[in-house]
Amino acid sequence: MPFLEKKTFTRLTPLLDFLEFSEQNRDLVWDRPKFPLMVPLRLALKMEKNNPHCPLFLQFVPLKKERLVDENYSLEPVKDPIFRLTPKLLKKYEGRSLLLATKACAMHCRYCFRQNFSYETSQKGFQNEIALLQKNDTIHEVILSGGDPLSLQSKDLLELVGQLDAIEHLRIIRFHTRSLIADPLILKQELFDFFLQTRKKIVFVVHVNHPKELGEDLRVCFQKLKKCGVTLLSQSVLLKGINDEAAILKNLCLELFDHGVLPYYLHQLDQVQGAAHFYVERKTGLNLIEQIRSSLPGYLVPKYVEEIPKKTSKTPIFSLHAI
């Protein structure tokens, strides 16, 4: 079958054909989104046939609902540009810096808050960023983000982590990545070798929203990372119609732990234009967390948080009064 030779769907018709979508269901889909379609084969294979409510389909396939303009949603909800030290280096929180390693991603999530943010520059490499990090010994952790840091060419990523490794006052290199759910084989042996030999602590925060994104292939990848001493945490975005039920979130936490990953954050949606149909009220989120807390041990209950620009950390959502 020709479509199985491709690793990623970037055109709608082959994807909808593959998913055996009816004419009626195709009518829900938006064929000219600004943020283009990008669905890795691994995820397409996990989508339910002819089901526009499938939690994986909803996360990655543009619906006409994205065209709705809502005044509470903006193109740049987390206001990243005000934290820029360089086009690729942000300083938001005490002791930590965020390095936007690349604009590229292995998939395009429809709720992505960076979908309108053009931070790719013509500057190759990270000389300016490394120089700033070297100078500032109050920074003990670098968070690699993007896009997705694992979308960097393997040799560029190795060069970058090698440069970070050489900065003495840095203690932790943290990856925020969703690429592993697109391709659990994406990590090259050289990177595992680096993790084994470095004295820095390596943390992976894996972005997973639904238990269907997990699987045996991912478990093997996580086991390999753990053998290299990597700490594995998860981050999920609370999304309407996808994971806004206690049973799904509970199962997600249990499955993550079963895969060797500790649930870390349940994140309130960043209100980016086009994503309003994913919004879950804080009241509902609090209720969901309460239900998880009552049935799982405390170490499996993620912190329910949101990003409020100019705050010195993610803001925990404890009660409606704080809003």
Chain contacts with ligand SF4 (rule: CB under 6 A): 105, 107-109, 112, 114, 146-148, 178, 207
Which residue number has the CB closest to ligand SF4? 112
Minimum CB–partner distance for residue 241 and ligand SF4 (Å)? 17
Q: For residues 176 and 259, which CB has a smaller minimum distance to ligand SF4 in the complex?
A: 176
Cβ neighbour number for residue 185 with a 10 Å cutoff: 10
CB contact at 8 A, 309 and 82: yes
CA 132 to chain centre: 26
Minimum CB–partner distance for residue 126 and ligand SF4 (Å)? 18
Cβ neighbour number for residue 114 with a 10 Å cutoff: 21
Q: For residues 97 and 102, which CB has a smaller minimum distance to ligand SF4 in the complex?
A: 102
Minimum CB–partner distance for residue 151 and ligand SF4 (Å)? 8
Q: For residues 43 and 253, which CB has a smaller minimum distance to ligand SF4 in the complex?
A: 43
Minimum CB–partner distance for residue 97 and ligand SF4 (Å)? 18
Torsion over CA of 203, 96, 263 and 186, rounded to 10 degrees?
-40
Minimum CB–partner distance for residue 135 and ligand SF4 (Å)? 28
* Three-state SS sequence of 224-238: HHHHCCCEEEEEEEC
Q: For residues 92 and 108, which CB has a smaller minimum distance to ligand SF4 in the complex?
A: 108
The number of helix segments (H) and strand segments (E) in the chain equals 11, 12
Q: For residues 148 and 306, which CB has a smaller minimum distance to ligand SF4 in the complex?
A: 148
**Cis amide prior to 147 (ω within 30 degrees):** yes
